[in-house]
Amino acid sequence: MNQQTGKTAALYYRVASKQTTDLYLDNQMHTLLCYANEQGFNSFMLYVDVGMSGTNLDRPGFNALKADIEAGRIDRLIIRDLSRIARNYLIIDSFIEWAGAHGVSVVSVVDGEIDRSPICADMVGTYTKLFHSLPRGGGRA
């Protein structure tokens, strides 16, 4: 285990339905805490939103997270997967770039560290354009 002295990780998790069992929230939190521990983070802050859709970025926990990023309190954001940020990949990409501009790296336990270097940003744009150019509808290829 690498000791990450002086680093503060933000652990963010979210569920869309208030009717989701506590077990699902507990599993997300446990996954994030284990990951932070394995990576040697001895300082972390938890942010959670319950009953908040990923289609709406105006969420209390997410807003608190963004405020702490802007204040320079966070070095790394750890999430279970990208859908915890939002359900729209363009919004996710924009948020990750914003976080990076504030010196915060974003790590998804499922997807790994999210790289937004210029070459990766170009690739994301290319794949996004390709995806949106695919034919839509109920027909088969």
Instruction: Answer yes or no: is 136 within a domain.
Output: no
Instruction: Answer yes or no: is 73 within a domain.
Output: yes
pLDDT score, position 117: 45
Q: What is the mean pLDDT of residues 11-31?
A: 80
User: From CA 76, how far away is CA 47, in angstroms rounded?
Assistant: 13
Instruction: Answer yes or no: is 24 within a domain.
Output: yes
- Residue 51: which pLDDT band, with cuts at 50, 70 and 90? confident
Q: How many structural domains does the chain have?
A: 1
- Residue 20: which pLDDT band, with cuts at 50, 70 and 90? low
pLDDT tens digits, one per residue of 82-119: 999 998 888 999 999 999 999 999 999 987 776 554 44
- Residue 52: which pLDDT band, with cuts at 50, 70 and 90? confident
User: From CA 83, how far away is CA 74, in angstroms rounded?
Assistant: 20
Instruction: Answer yes or no: is 130 within a domain.
Output: no
Instruction: Answer yes or no: is 39 within a domain.
Output: yes
Instruction: Tell me the pairing of strands 112-113 and 105-108.
Output: antiparallel
pLDDT score, position 138: 47
User: From CA 120, how far away is CA 113, in angstroms rounded?
Assistant: 12
CB neighbours (10 Å) of residue 106?
Answer: 23
CATH number at residue 75: 3.40.50.1390
Domain that holds residue 59: 9-115
Angle at 95 between CA 94 and CA 96, to 5 degrees: 95
pLDDT tens digits, one per residue of 63-89: 999 999 999 999 999 999 999 999 888
Long-range CB contacts for residues 64-70, cutoff 8 Å, separation at least 24: 65/10, 65/12, 68/10, 69/10, 69/99, 69/102, 69/104, 70/102
Instruction: Answer yes or no: is 33 within a domain.
Output: yes
